[in-house]
A and B are shown apart, each in its own frame.
Chain A
């Protein structure tokens, strides 16, 4: 087999440092995407027709176009359209991933809310509880419990898909593997290392997700 890892050995720590960048993008995008996703899902269920249409349109645009395209438009399009705005690769990546995952997460949450027994909201209403309190204290906690697996799935795929930030030059695992390849003329070896790193991250995240799920089931 014609694989030689020796020339790239000194560069492995450099690739590993990309984990921080990858996880930073995925984690921040997941949190922001979650917050925006909750708001979008509430708007979708609110019955205010114009806002609902807007949220549905938002979702269909971000689900209906490639993520890599959204990323490039945010990174290159914004500075071209508004010349006084400059956007670095990291903020651009985080923004693109947040907006994109919000679209997916809002659908997950909407489904989760709709799956909560209608009697729960009736019981809360019958007690004179306001809509906001009802959502926050009664409906969302039950909805979230049911959608934890789907949210973990979204976070994991976000972590993997973040590899495409490489196209705008953010120094994540993937980009670093390319750079090492270019410097040593050994291209495949660093990519294999990157693959192993991604796989290990996903394994750890999946395991963490199982733990969270288990804890959430305690009340059942």
Chain B
């Protein structure tokens, strides 16, 4: 369970997050949408503390991760993240990308890490690429490897920061399919996305963030049919009626 209490984040005088509070249950899939620069990504990055909140609390599975003495690395082990630009390790093969953190952090043996790596690669349909370097993969393949790399740490929560925004249109589906199959495993997922169809289909709740505030938190059907705020209406008008 993730419990966020009055989360603020500012850069100097620029307030990016202006008091976000919410609770996310285990196994929930949350799609976070909203205009560019509204603070969606910052919100996501606060949860695994890639950004340090200015104030407020984030409690993950009963542990306040914003407290100073919290071991950041222990928190991050359990919170996987997938980035817009993949950030695979270019000097490591696909398999090495998957086994590096499990061996370093979870102290698995090479054989154990490779065994689970192979399973994950099969799961994302890239087993035949295991010895390639990332530069040889397409964008969609890179992102699927990045998802597998995050899953290799056996996280409780997965964060996706616009995972398909940097992809060519024909590669979006292969990544969304992997994510869709992941939602069926009961993984808690927070997904910042511009894919409205996907959000509507897989999400349990939609977070609409605008101007640093969580202004709607509703079920997808209700949100897309009948958003309760004018700002969400305007936003949907713009992104859905192109």
**Please, what's the 1-or-0 string for B94-106, where 1 marks a CB less than 8 Å from any CB in chain A?**
0000001100110
Q: State the CA gap A122–B161 with chains docked (Å).
A: 12
| Cβ–Cβ < 8 Å partners of A219 in chain B | 90-91, 133, 135
Q: State the CA gap A126–B79 with chains docked (Å).
A: 7
Q: A137-B100, A137-B104 are known contacts. Are A127 and B150 too (CB-CB below 8 A)?
A: yes
A117 touches B135 (CB 8 A): no
B87 touches A122 (CB 8 A): yes
Contact of B76 among A120, A125, A142 (CB under 8 A): A125
Contact of B85 among A119, A124, A138 (CB under 8 A): A119
Report the nearest A residue to B84, measured CB to CB: A119
Report the nearest A residue to B101, measured CB to CB: A127
B153 contacts chain A at the CB level, 8 A cutoff: yes
Q: State the CA gap A123–B89 with chains docked (Å).
A: 9
Contact of B73 among A123, A130, A145, A220 (CB under 8 A): A130
Query: For A125, A127, A137, which residue has the most chain B Cβ atoms within 10 angstroms?
Result: A127
B74 contacts chain A at the CB level, 8 A cutoff: yes
Q: State the CA gap A138–B88 with chains docked (Å).
A: 10
| Cβ–Cβ < 8 Å partners of A142 in chain B | 90-91
* Count of chain A residues with a beta carbon within 8 Å of a chain B beta carbon: 20
8 A Cβ contacts from B133-163 to A: 133, 135, 146, 149-150, 153
Q: A126-B76, A127-B149, A128-B73 are known contacts. Are A138 and B87 too (CB-CB below 8 A)?
A: no
Q: State the CA gap A81–B83 with chains docked (Å).
A: 58
Q: State the CA gap A128–B78 with chains docked (Å).
A: 8
A141 contacts chain B at the CB level, 8 A cutoff: yes
* Count of chain B residues with a beta carbon within 8 Å of a chain A beta carbon: 28
Main SS of chain A's interface residues?
helix
Report the nearest A residue to B77, measured CB to CB: A128
B80 contacts chain A at the CB level, 8 A cutoff: yes
B132 CB to closest chain A CB (Å) equals 11
Q: State the CA gap A129–B77 with chains docked (Å).
A: 8
| Cβ–Cβ < 8 Å partners of A122 in chain B | 50, 83, 87
B76 touches A127 (CB 8 A): yes
Report the nearest A residue to B50, measured CB to CB: A122
Q: State the CA gap A142–B133 with chains docked (Å).
A: 14
Query: For B73, B79, B133, B146, which residue has the most chain A Cβ atoms within 10 angstroms?
Result: B73
Q: State the CA gap A120–B83 with chains docked (Å).
A: 11
B11 CB to closest chain A CB (Å) equals 15
Report the nearest B residue to A126, measured CB to CB: B81
B50 touches A120 (CB 8 A): no
B104 touches A141 (CB 8 A): no
Query: For A123, A133, A138, which residue has the most chain B Cβ atoms within 10 angstroms?
Result: A123
Q: State the CA gap A142–B83 with chains docked (Å).
A: 19
Contact of A117 among B50, B87, B146 (CB under 8 A): B87
B101 touches A129 (CB 8 A): yes
| Cβ–Cβ < 8 Å partners of B80 in chain A | 126-127
A-B contact pairs, 5 of them (CB 8 A): A125-B50, A125-B72, A129-B73, A129-B104, A142-B90
User: What is the interface of chain B, defined by CB distance below 8 A to chain A?
Assistant: 48, 50, 72-77, 79-81, 83, 85, 87-91, 100-101, 104-105, 133, 135, 146, 149-150, 153
Q: Which 7 A-B pairs have the closest CB atoms?
A: A128-B77, A119-B87, A123-B87, A127-B101, A126-B81, A128-B76, A128-B105
